[in-house]
A and B are shown apart, each in its own frame.
Chain A
Amino acid sequence: MENRGLLQVTTPSDREIALTRVFDAPRDLVFEAYTKPELLKRWLGVPHDGWSLEVCEVDLRVGGKCRFVSRGPDGNEMAMSGVYCEVVPGERIVTTELFDNPWYEGGAVKTVTFEEQAGKTTLTLSVLYDSKEIRDGVLKSGMDEGMAFAFDMLAELFASMPQELR
């Protein structure tokens, strides 16, 4: 599939991991695709090795709940719930993030912002963890122990390397 926008992963503070991506569409469209279950099911985690978004509940108001369950080919499930803390239609959504089988301690707060410029929308998805240690733990999950590190620096360095060295 064609890859149009560059996805950037950064660590804007020592408790956060953020994603930024530009979409060639006005922000009300992106917001709609991000908040309507029937639309979310068509893109979130899809296509992803036979995984699909089986449960997708969105009660888009402050205090309302959301729940997402992705199911894989072997019956594997990844389930996440949250409560909406802030909803500014077309602009900003803040939710808590809690996985059924969390791989990190404590809670996390996810902020998604939509900014439109010249018909294109920049989506920023930032997750704030309870502590730097937990954030670092998330960064190093899937790898060995003891690897907390400013990943954006590393990614930047990696990107600056000549193509033939990668």
Chain B
Amino acid sequence: MQPTSYGLDATFAALADPTRRAILARLASGDASVLELAEPFDMSQPAISKHLKVLERAGLISSGVEAQRRPRRLEPKPLAEATEWLERYREFWERSFQSLDALLDEMKRKPKSRKRR
């Protein structure tokens, strides 16, 4: 299995499931074992393991080396790539709105130069 060959498609497929998103949200606050992850979801360990496998193949998580516990860890890079489009869209408007901030300040300072509706 080569995680790198899956790319963004795999990231999004993995993220499409609410349980897997919840698992990632849980891992965002710290590494956790399969047992710890299974607990809040009322699911069997094999069911959780299946989800973890999907997440791992998508490169979204990795397993630790501790023999017994093998804690799962969030891998931030694929998530960052998936948010790239959103960031570009946001950036265009962010820049525009920053210019608008400056313009509004200027308008506030010169109330007479504009006619109020």
Contact = CB atoms under 8 A, between A and B. Distances in A.
Nearest to A142: B85
Interface of A: 1-5, 7, 9, 19, 21, 23-25, 28-33, 39, 42-48, 89-90, 125, 139-149, 151, 153-155, 157-158, 160-162, 165-166
Interface of B: 7-9, 11-13, 15-16, 21, 24-25, 28-29, 74, 76, 79-80, 82-86, 88-90, 92-105, 107-108, 114, 116-117
25 contacts: A2-B98, A23-B97, A23-B100, A25-B108, A32-B107, A33-B104, A33-B107, A42-B103, A43-B96, A43-B97, A43-B102, A139-B85, A140-B85, A141-B85, A144-B8, A144-B9, A149-B12, A154-B82, A154-B86, A157-B21, A157-B28, A158-B83, A161-B28, A161-B76, A165-B76
Contacts of B15: 149, 153-154
Does more than half of chain B's interface fall in helix, strand or loop, or is it mixed? helix
A144 B103 CA distance: 37
A23 B104 contact: yes
B117 A89 contact: yes
A93 B102 CA distance: 23
B8 A147 contact: yes
